[in-house]
Amino acid sequence: MKMNRRTLAATLAAVSMAAMLPGTALAQKKIVLGFSQVGAESEWRTANTESIKSAAKDAGIELKFSDAQQKQENQIKAIRAFIAQKVDVIAFSPVVASGWDTVLKEAKAAKIPVVLTDRAVDSKDTSLYVTFMGSDFTEEGRKAGRWLVEKMKDTKGDVNIVELQGTVGSAPAIDRKKGFEEVIKADPRFKIIRSQTGDFTRAKGKEVMEAFLKAEGKKINVLYAHNDDMAIGAIQAIEEAGLKPAKDITIISIDAVKGAFEAMIAGKLNVSVECSPLLGPQLMTAVKDIMAGKPVQKRIVTEEGIFPMEVAAKEFPKRKY
């Protein structure tokens, strides 16, 4: 049948109207994304949650958000609930690296694609997830190490370091330790004299630093904290012990959140290595591509810098988190 211009235009208008109407076969179904977040342990995590929520809204994706309160069992429960609800895509930031194979196999059996954001899993079977997007934590550790080696190059004698590790068994705690050690081991003067977890929180960072100070006192030359929140907690402990943070003890941390910039501007933190939490837009793009059957890169690495205290005041106004 031949259509004249007017009939064709009317037909096209009717089709696009139908596509907008709920209940019609042509109505666009909203993509449903189930996201299991680690918790709300740090300023970084709060910014990451905000980025994911606002990007989902902007992308028109329905987000089912679940907070695991830093417990793996809660994340496993949330993932199982997403499978039962038949969401289109599951994304999560795994609190620890191991122990995911069973639940990921359940998602695979249900044909629900999985995206890892921020933290990796150590599963051998990489077909259990479509992509892993986030920082290179080992490189962040190396950056911290390189900065320290350079800073101490003209000093004499041992450099005694205390380390505040992130959550035990988490990818950032494992990799940031590894990257840092890889660099400092080249010079035997650098010694990690104490290393303990502060679980990525301010309260624990303070508590563990108090214990380090009690045990080692003025022997401590450097604090390496796996995130800014623990460093900020530790700064309080250092001040309460009558010492000057960033002067008596050199302090290096990771994330580069606004709180760290404030501490640097106040002269209390020497340097922060950047780890961007703004993964929301990237995640929504990947979710849409997966649903459209487009190829998605297996590993998407975030690009990041390093900010010493000397540039903090200039950089601060540009910071988004």
Which residues of this chain interact with ligand AHR, rule CB under 6 A?
Answer: 41-42, 44-45, 118-119, 172, 200, 227, 229, 254-255, 275
Please write down the HEC assignment for all residues of the chain. CCCCHHHHHHHHHHHHHHHHCCCCCCCCCCCEEEEEECCCCCHHHHHHHHHHHHHHHHHCCEEEEEECCCCHHHHHHHHHHHHHCCCCEEEECCCCCCCCHHHHHHHHHCCCCEEEECCCCCCCCHHHCCEEEECCHHHHHHHHHHHHHHHCCCCCCCEEEEEEECCCCCHHHHHHHHHHHHHHCCCCCEEEEEEEECCCCHHHHHHHHHHHHHHHHHHCCEEEECCHHHHHHHHHHHHHCCCCECCCEEEEEEECCHHHHHHHHCCCCCEEEECCCCCHHHHHHHHHHHHCCCCCCCEEECCCCEEEHHHHHHHHHHCCC
- Interatomic CA distance for residues 270 and 35, integer angstroms: 35
Q: How far is the CB of 188 from ligand AHR (least distance, A)?
A: 29
Residue 70 or 160 having the CB closest to ligand AHR = 70
Q: How far is the CB of 161 from ligand AHR (least distance, A)?
A: 19
Q: How far is the CB of 45 from ligand AHR (least distance, A)?
A: 5
Residue 36 or 42 having the CB closest to ligand AHR = 42
Q: How far is the CB of 176 from ligand AHR (least distance, A)?
A: 8
Q: How far is the CB of 152 from ligand AHR (least distance, A)?
A: 24
Q: How far is the CB of 34 from ligand AHR (least distance, A)?
A: 19
Q: How far is the CB of 93 from ligand AHR (least distance, A)?
A: 7
Residue 44 or 100 having the CB closest to ligand AHR = 44
Residue 88 or 228 having the CB closest to ligand AHR = 228
Residue 160 or 272 having the CB closest to ligand AHR = 272
Crossing angle for the helix pair 202-216 and 228-240, nearest 10 degrees? 50
Residue 163 or 229 having the CB closest to ligand AHR = 229
Residue 87 or 275 having the CB closest to ligand AHR = 275
Residue 160 or 226 having the CB closest to ligand AHR = 226
- Interatomic CA distance for residues 167 and 270, integer angstroms: 23
Q: Is 319 left (phi over 0), alpha (psi -120 to 50) or beta?
A: beta
Phi first, then psi, for residue 201 (nearest 5°) are: -115, 155
Q: How far is the CB of 48 from ligand AHR (least distance, A)?
A: 8
